[in-house]
Amino acid sequence: PVFDPAAGTWSEAAPMPAPRDHAGIATWDGKLYVSGGGEFGIGRRRANLWVYDPATNAWEGLARMPASRWQHAMVAIDGILYVVGGLIVDSFDHSPVWAYDIAGDKWRADLAPLPTAREHLGAVAVDGKVLAIGGRMTQNLATVELYDPATDTWTTGPEMPTPRGGFTLGVMADGIHVTGGEDLNAFTTIGAHEVLDPAAMTWSTL
């Protein structure tokens, strides 16, 4: 389904090539990219990368990821898709960062790894950098880490007030809004709404 905020209406677009859950998603140059994910109840994890073009209402398959991956986050910066976090199938190391060159239709996997491996995290692009927020592994994390593609390095940011995974986030004029989530250790759903000011690198609670 596609929501038109100007008209306040929903419409039905071409379905994905196959069902997926816990996939990565990002937009670039007016197109939608979806990577990896799984199929609930089947136990299969995927390495696909698809692109959806609203102009043609059609999906296209692109070069597959280096391995099957799910519960990750994906961010687009300057024509490159960065995949961080999640779980990589048949691997004990879930920290690798992968980058996909949209123009060249190829992947690379030799970037600096995510310092804190985690899944169910969120990530956004801020000032040409990848900001990885929260997530979980054996427990919920409040970790904030920033990746600079220009130097291929990670730095640590201020921890989120409420550790959580499985949340939503969005970039607005006043900062990065983090909402909801879940705490598997306590079997509870989180309602906290917190905002990170990327300029001051400080959190506030709304």
What is the block-wise mean pLDDT of the chain (206 residues), using blocks of 10 residues? 96 97 98 96 90 98 98 98 97 96 98 98 97 96 98 98 97 96 92 97 97
Position 30 scores a pLDDT of 97
**The tokens 């970039």 sit on which residue?**
171
pLDDT at 2: 96
Cβ partners under 8 Å of residue 151, min gap 6: none
pLDDT at 185: 84
- What are the strands, taking DSSP E only, across 94-151? 98-101, 106-108, 122-126, 129-133, 144-148
Residues 54, 134: Cα–Cα separation, whole Å: 31
Q: What is the pTM of this model?
A: 0.96
Closest CA relative to residue 102, chosen from 78, 128, 77, 80: 80
